[in-house]
A and B are shown apart, each in its own frame.
Chain A
Amino acid sequence: MDWDLVLSSIWPLLDGAVRGTIPLALVSFALGLVLALLAALARLSPRWWLSGIARFYISVIRGTPLIVQLYVVFFGLPSIDVVIPPWPSAILVLSLNVGGYAAEIIRAAILSIPRGQWEAAYTIGMPRWLALRRIILPQAVRVSVPPLSNTFISLVKDTALTSLILVTEMFRRAQQIAAFSNEFLVLYIEAAVLYWVICLVLSTGQGTLERRLERHVA
């Protein structure tokens, strides 16, 4: 094992994580959650066209490979003169992707709150949207933390795919150094370990968040 190479490549890789992988994941997750909430609410709407749009969006996202989605946006759209640079393309596709998956999680979480909670909110005079915001969503958040954490962890790993549309995140750095040094095994294992460490940290964070949210619930 070439320890000098490990040491000298760790900084570029960490730099790729801090300036690529992590912000890419955070921004896409935040935007994705907003999309997911909108899609979940649309999916639950009694208006058929609204739930139809949401259903279609979720179906397309879940029914096509992420890499194909990335290629359509980055390599495909320029054919119709829509040119989006690597970073915005990556954020667009990853957000849409997270939105599709998280929408179903949020929808299920909303549906898991007992009907009596809606009714109690109605009887104290709340209209539907206020009941949703004050009573249902805060409870749904607690239910959805574990599955959403899963989505986030998947997203962190999925950011590696954006190396294929020229985003210089951690994995692309590893590829570059590997090609240069011809030490493929060392570099790819090093990258794998760093992804693993990031995900370990996230899992710990998930545990803390879950304990915080379950304080009051027997």
Chain B
Amino acid sequence: MSPDSIAPPQPTGENVLEVSGLAKSFGGTRVLRAVDLTLRPGRVVCLIGPSGSGKTTVLRSLNGLETPDGGMLQAPAADLDIDFSRPLADATRNRLRDLSAMVFQQHNLFPHLTVLQNVIEGPVRVQRRPRAEVIDEARALLARVGLEARSDAYPAQLSGGQQQRVGIVRALALKPTLLLFDEPTSALDPELVGDVLSVMKDLADEGWTMVVVTHELAFARDVADEVLFLDDGVVLERGAPDRIFTAPREERTRRFLERLMRPF
């Protein structure tokens, strides 16, 4: 392995994450009732479901952007054991956050920093790794997604697909254990979606552990090891993508998939 490439962490045989009974209310509304989720290393889990079903809240909870008010989360390799029914200490939240890196729907790149600066900000400023080494890694990652020539551009000078690929590189540069994607192609023009999905497929093939909230059924079918259909704050149905997409057991799953495949 060349020193400037970033590869997924070696699987240890232990689960990356075990989540059970995840619950969350906003105001009086229960968005998550009891969500269970087990992530084995190198696996890709896709969360699908209607808007408001809670899939984004699950994803954000895994990164500490939302704090669930019930449920357990264990990350054996990181020696992390969280009971969300108790107050979450900042230090614990930070350790949870260190486990994963997030790719947002609206990329959320920093507009005042160049592409390269966006990518190295976390590793240099937060992880305090040597700048020269981080820059080499960042350039190699940018080259992988075909953006080595745009290192010094500002986000506003890139297309939506390019911005999202930088978003993915920014996440990778943190060397996380787990990659989280929150509808990464929903805000893109249709012709740019493919670029981003193919980068994500490559990452999955390389062995990254990923949780992807998506409406791209073809991607889920192709790449996911497991698909979770969320509805009204619970996992209504879960299984291998082929099974879910060809023979959904639940009526609501069937209706949701039909709507996505035949919108009118």
A218→B127 contact, CB < 8 A: no
B108→A122 contact, CB < 8 A: no
B174→A125 contact, CB < 8 A: yes
CA A63 to CA B104, docked complex, whole Å:
43
Which A residues lie within 8 Å of B102 (CB)?
119-120, 123
Interface residues of B in 85-121 (CB under 8 A from A): 94, 97-98, 101-102, 104, 106, 108-112, 121
A119→B109 contact, CB < 8 A: no
Which A residues lie within 8 Å of B104 (CB)?
116, 119-120
**How distant is B213 from chain A, measured CB to nearest CB, in Å?**
15
Confirm or deny: B80 has a beta carbon within 8 angstroms of a beta carbon on chain A.
Answer: no
B residues near A, CB below 8 A? Answer: 63-65, 94, 97-98, 101-102, 104, 106, 108-112, 121-122, 125-127, 154, 156-157, 170-171, 174
B106→A116 contact, CB < 8 A: yes
Could you say which of B102, B109, B121, B171 has the most chain A C-beta atoms within 10 Å of its C-beta? B121
B94→A125 contact, CB < 8 A: yes
A residues near B, CB below 8 A? Answer: 114, 116-117, 119-127, 130, 134-135, 138-139, 142, 216-218
Which B residues lie within 8 Å of A134 (CB)?
121, 125
Which A residue sits closest to B102, measured CB to CB?
A123
B110→A125 contact, CB < 8 A: no
A135→B110 contact, CB < 8 A: yes
B110→A117 contact, CB < 8 A: yes
B156→A216 contact, CB < 8 A: yes
A120→B110 contact, CB < 8 A: yes
CA A127 to CA B126, docked complex, whole Å:
9
Query: Considering the complex of A and B, which 6 residue pairs feature the smallest CB-CB distances, nearest first?
Result: A124-B122, A216-B154, A218-B156, A120-B108, A125-B126, A116-B108
CA A120 to CA B164, docked complex, whole Å:
13
A216→B111 contact, CB < 8 A: yes
Which B residues lie within 8 Å of A216 (CB)?
111-112, 154, 156-157
**How distant is B172 from chain A, measured CB to nearest CB, in Å?**
12
Q: Given known contacts A124-B101, A125-B97, A130-B125, what 15 new A-B pairs fall within 8 Å (CB)?
A: A122-B65, A123-B63, A123-B97, A123-B101, A124-B121, A124-B126, A134-B125, A139-B110, A142-B112, A216-B112, A216-B154, A216-B157, A217-B154, A217-B156, A218-B157
Which B residues lie within 8 Å of A130 (CB)?
125-126
Cβ contacts A to B, 28 pairs, < 8 Å: A116-B104, A116-B108, A119-B65, A119-B102, A120-B108, A120-B110, A122-B64, A124-B126, A124-B174, A125-B97, A125-B98, A125-B122, A125-B174, A126-B122, A126-B125, A127-B94, A134-B121, A134-B125, A135-B110, A138-B112, A139-B110, A139-B111, A142-B112, A216-B154, A216-B157, A217-B111, A217-B156, A218-B156
Which A residues lie within 8 Å of B154 (CB)?
216-217
CA A68 to CA B22, docked complex, whole Å:
59
CA A100 to CA B64, docked complex, whole Å:
36
**How distant is A47 from chain B, measured CB to nearest CB, in Å?**
15
**How distant is B97 from chain A, measured CB to nearest CB, in Å?**
6
Which A residue sits closest to B127, measured CB to CB?
A125
Which A residues lie within 8 Å of B174 (CB)?
124-125
Which B residues lie within 8 Å of A126 (CB)?
122, 125-126
CA A117 to CA B122, docked complex, whole Å:
13
CA A139 to CA B94, docked complex, whole Å:
25
A139→B112 contact, CB < 8 A: yes
CA A138 to CA B111, docked complex, whole Å:
10
**How distant is A133 from chain B, measured CB to nearest CB, in Å?**
10
CA A122 to CA B180, docked complex, whole Å:
14
Which A residues lie within 8 Å of B156 (CB)?
216-218
